[in-house]
C-alpha cells in the first residue's frame, strides 16, 4: 500500500479492553479533522521521518480510505488509503487500484478485517467491468504487505520462481515511472526517494528467522535489500475473480482457525 507496509503496523498498545477490529470504507473527502489526526498518529508511531504535510498531501490524492476501529472502544486502530484510476494500455483500457499509506496497530495484527474490506472493494470494481483488466499497483518497504499480494494473486510481478510476465512488467514500469519519475529504478524495480522519506521503525516488523522460512519473504529481501532504509519494491497484480474468491476463502479459514485456537501457518 504505499510506502506502505500492509506492513500495516503501529507500535501503540491498547490500554483498554481490546475488541476485534471492524472496517468501514468511506470517502477521503468525508474525513473530519479528528480522524485525520488519529490516522497520522498511528502512521507516525510506525514510521520514522513521518511528515504531516506529506501525509495530508498523499491522503488528499486518494478517493477511498478503509478505517479500522476497535469494536469495544471505537478507537481508530488502523487504516489504508486507496486511489482508483483508469489507464490506457497497448491492450486497451484497464483499472488500477493503488494502495497508499497503510497501518494497523501492532496489538491487532493477525486480524483480517482490512484484507476482507480491501477484497470487497476489489470485487466491486471487478464486477463493474468483468472483462476489463483490474490491476493492484503496490510499492512496499515491508514484507508483510508484499506477502498479501504474492499469496493472493499468482499472476503478479515480481514473484519468486517465475520470470516476469512481460505485459504486467510493462504496465508496472510505466505506472511507477509516471508516479515516481527518476526515483524509480527500472532495472531493480524499486523506488528510492530523492528526499528523506518514511522508513519502518526498528523493531516494528523485523525480518525474523521464522519469516525467512517463506520463499516469498526471502525473495522480497533479495529483491529489495534496501527495504530497511525506506526503499520500496514496485509490484503489480492482475486481479482475477477466481483469485479473489480463493483469497477470501483463505482469509475466512484463518479467522475460523484463530477463533478455535488452531495454529495458523503463513
Residue % of the chain over a pLDDT of 90: 70
Predicted pLDDT at 203: 66
Domain ranges of the chain: 21-259
Nearest to 45 by CA among 18, 81, 8, 15: 8
As a whole number, the mean pLDDT across the chain is 88
Task: Band the pLDDT of 259: cuts 50, 70, 90.
Answer: low
CATH of domain 21-259: 3.40.630.30
Q: How far is CA 119 from the centre of its chain?
A: 12
Tell the burial category of 54 from Cβ atoms under 10 Å away from its Cβ (0-12, 13-18, 19+): middle
Going by their DSSP bridges, the two strands 190-191 and 76-89 should be labelled as unpaired
Predicted pLDDT at 261: 65
Q: Is 58 within 8 Å of 2 (Cβ atoms)?
A: yes
**What is the pTM for the complete model shown?**
0.87
Task: Band the pLDDT of 205: cuts 50, 70, 90.
Answer: low
pLDDT tens digits for range 80-134: 999 999 999 988 999 999 999 899 998 998 888 999 999 999 999 999 999 999 9
Alpha helices in 62-189, H assignment, sequence order: 113-128, 143-152, 166-180
What are the backbone angles phi and psi of residue 249, rounded to the nearest 5°? -65, -40
Q: Is 58 within 8 Å of 21 (Cβ atoms)?
A: no
Predicted pLDDT at 195: 84
pLDDT tens digits for range 153-162: 999 999 999 9
Task: Band the pLDDT of 42: cuts 50, 70, 90.
Answer: very high
Q: Is the pLDDT at 4 greater than 50, yes or no?
A: no
Peptide bond into 158 cis (omega under 30): yes
* CA 258/CA 106 separation, integer angstroms: 17
Least confident of 18-22, 125-129, 191-195: 18-22
Residue 8 gets the label, from left (phi > 0), alpha (psi -120 to 50) or beta, of: left
Predicted pLDDT at 253: 78
Q: Is the pLDDT at 187 greater than 90, yes or no?
A: yes
Task: Band the pLDDT of 55: cuts 50, 70, 90.
Answer: very high
Query: Which residue bears the cell 499468482?
Result: 154
Q: Is the pLDDT at 193 greater than 80, yes or no?
A: yes
* CA 29/CA 111 separation, integer angstroms: 27
* CA 165/CA 201 separation, integer angstroms: 33
Predicted pLDDT at 5: 44
Amino acid at each position: 500500500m504505499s510506502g506502505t507496509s500492509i506492513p500495516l503496523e503501529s507500535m501503540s498498545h491498547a490500554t483498554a479492553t481490546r475488541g476485534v477490529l471492524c472496517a468501514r470504507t468511506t470517502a477521503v473527502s468525508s474525513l473530519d479533522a479528528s480522524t485525520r489526526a488519529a490516522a497520522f498518529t498511528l502512521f507516525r508511531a510506525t514510521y520514522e521521518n513521518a511528515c504531516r504535510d506529506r501525509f495530508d498531501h498523499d491522503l488528499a490524492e486518494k478517493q477511498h480510505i478503509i478505517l479500522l476501529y476497535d469494536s469495544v472502544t471505537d478507537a481508530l486502530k488502523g487504516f489504508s488509503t486507496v486511489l482508483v484510476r483508469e489507464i490506457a494500455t497497448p491492450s486497451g483500457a484497464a483499472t488500477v487500484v493503488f494502495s497508499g499509506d497503510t497501518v494497523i496497530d501492532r496489538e491487532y495484527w493477525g486480524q483480517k478485517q482490512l484484507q476482507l474490506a480491501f477484497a470487497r472493494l476489489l470485487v466491486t470494481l471487478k464486477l463493474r467491468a468483468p472483462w476489463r483488466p483490474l490491476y493492484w499497483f503496490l510499492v512496499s518497504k515491508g514484507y508483510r504487505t508484499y506477502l498479501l499480494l504474492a499469496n493472493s494473486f499468482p499472476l503478479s510481478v515480481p514473484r519468486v520462481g517465475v520470470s516476469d510476465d512481460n505485459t504486467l512488467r510493462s504496465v508496472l514500469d510505466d505506472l511507477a515511472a509516471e508516479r515516481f519519475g527518476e526515483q524509480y529504478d527500472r532495472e531493480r524495480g524499486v523506488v528510492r526517494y530523492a528526499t528523506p522519506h518514511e522508513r519502518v521503525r526498528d523493531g516494528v516488523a523485523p525480518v525474523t528467522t521464522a519469516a525467512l522460512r517463506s520463499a516469498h519473504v526471502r525473495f522480497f529481501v533479495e529483491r529489495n535489500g534496501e527495504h530497511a532504509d525506506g526503499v520500496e519494491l514496485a509490484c503489480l497484480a492482475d486481479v482475477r475473480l477466481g483469485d479473489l474468491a480463493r483469497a477470501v476463502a483463505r482469509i475466512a479459514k484463518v479467522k475460523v482457525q484463530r477463533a478455535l485456537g488452531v495454529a495458523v501457518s503463513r
